Amino acid sequence: MLIDGHGRKVDYLRISVTERCNFRCQYCMPEKPFSWVPKENILSFEDLFKFVKASIDEGITKVRLTGGEPLLREDLDHFIKMIYDYNPDIDLALTTNGFLLKNVALRLKEAGLKRINVSLDSLIPDVAAKIAQKDVLKDVLDGIMEAKKVGLKVKLNSVPMKDINDNEILNLLEFANQEGFAIRFIEFMENSHASSSLKGLTSKDIQDIIAQKYNFEKIPRDTSSPAQYFVTENGYEFGIIEPHLDDFCASCNRIRLTAEGFLIPCLYFEDAMSIRDLVRSGDIDGAIEALKKVLANKPEKNKWGTNDNTDSSRAFYETGG
């Protein structure tokens, strides 16, 4: 079992398989980075798999593939199948912007993917295009519907921003409810890569908007999820991810690995340790030792909710969110 320096059990590995992306979301990567990580620095799926196997042996039970945009990486379904074949009980999930999903949803499902989270910030084509800086909505919706059709469990992620899509919270909630999807609203996390003009909504703002139309109650917190869930009077459950709240990190159960092989203990801070050379040279015991060291020093909490919150300089497209 993996335990961090604050006594938290860590059983969730998030792997960002690429930092590259086909969107330029204003809250994440509004401009193409000055340079991409050189291809030769990116770990192959074979190398990543060596680490995944060992971390499953150490107690990881949930693996999520993310990015950048993970569907830009060729043969993602092969990587999924490797993990599935090693241990079919692993909770194997993917986070995607959905743009390329339609044509690959079935392959992903057949490879062993169980769940998929798709980012959907707007149901209005022009607003979606303003956020992603590209005309994306139709392809994203086609991808979401195909994922549903092939039997993947779909969850939607939405980042409400003032004067951009805050008037769509109820529409997004109702769309998700109608289609049988879960939805989570994510508080915008300030970071130095995002467009500087953006203002996020707090969890309270989001709840106030939903309360204009629905009565709802808090569901006691499931510590394995970063979201606080609520249930409406008609029985629909929605979540809000509240990184600005003081107790948000108390049940953090995750560790992140980047495409370049950096282990990242917290989304807010710059700390990272490379396991690339260890993995490439086959020293998997060494990589697991490094993992344990990183976990021993995992920060207790982020700084989004504190008075000395300066924007984090960690890029979401690198860490995978």
Instruction: Please report whether residue 66 would count as binding ligand SAM according to CB under 6 A.
Output: yes
Q: How many residues bind ligand SAM (CB under 6 A)?
A: 21
CA end-to-end distance (rounded Å), the chain: 24
**Partners of residue 191 on adjacent β-strands:** 312
* CA 318 to each of CA 19, 56, 241, 287: distance values in angstroms, whole numbers, following the listed order: 5, 23, 20, 20
- The entry of ligand SAM, ligand SF4, none that residue 65 binds, CB within 5 to 8 Å by partner kind: none
- Scan residues 180-209 and list those touching ligand SAM (CB under 6 A): 186, 188-189, 191, 194
- Scan residues 86-105 and list those touching ligand SF4 (CB under 6 A): 97
> At its nearest, how many Å lie between ligand SF4 and the CB of residue 289?
31
Instruction: Please report whether residue 317 would count as binding ligand SF4 according to CB under 6 A.
Output: yes
Taking the least distance from each CB to ligand SF4, the nearer of 142 and 283 is: 142
Taking the least distance from each CB to ligand SAM, the nearer of 243 and 278 is: 243
Instruction: Please report whether residue 97 would count as binding ligand SAM according to CB under 6 A.
Output: yes
Whether residue 99 contacts residue 136, with contact meaning beta carbons closer than 8 Å, is answered with yes
The binder of ligand SAM chosen from 8, 67, 136, 227 (CB under 6 A)? 67
Taking the least distance from each CB to ligand SAM, the nearer of 253 and 319 is: 319
Q: How many CA atoms lie within 13 A of 62 on its CB side?
A: 16
Annotate 281-311 with DSSP letters as a single string: TT-HHHHHHHHHHHHHT--S--STTSTT-PP
> At its nearest, how many Å lie between ligand SAM and the CB of residue 283?
29
Q: In what order do the strands lie in the sheet with 12-16?
A: 216-218, 227-232, 237-241, 182-186, 153-158, 115-119, 91-96, 62-66, 12-16, 254-257, 262-264, 273-274
Token pair 């909490």: residue: 301
State the binding string over 59-78 for ligand SF4 (x if CB under 6 A, else -). --------xxx---------
The binding site for ligand SF4 (CB under 6 A) comprises 21, 23-25, 28-29, 67-69, 97, 119, 316-317
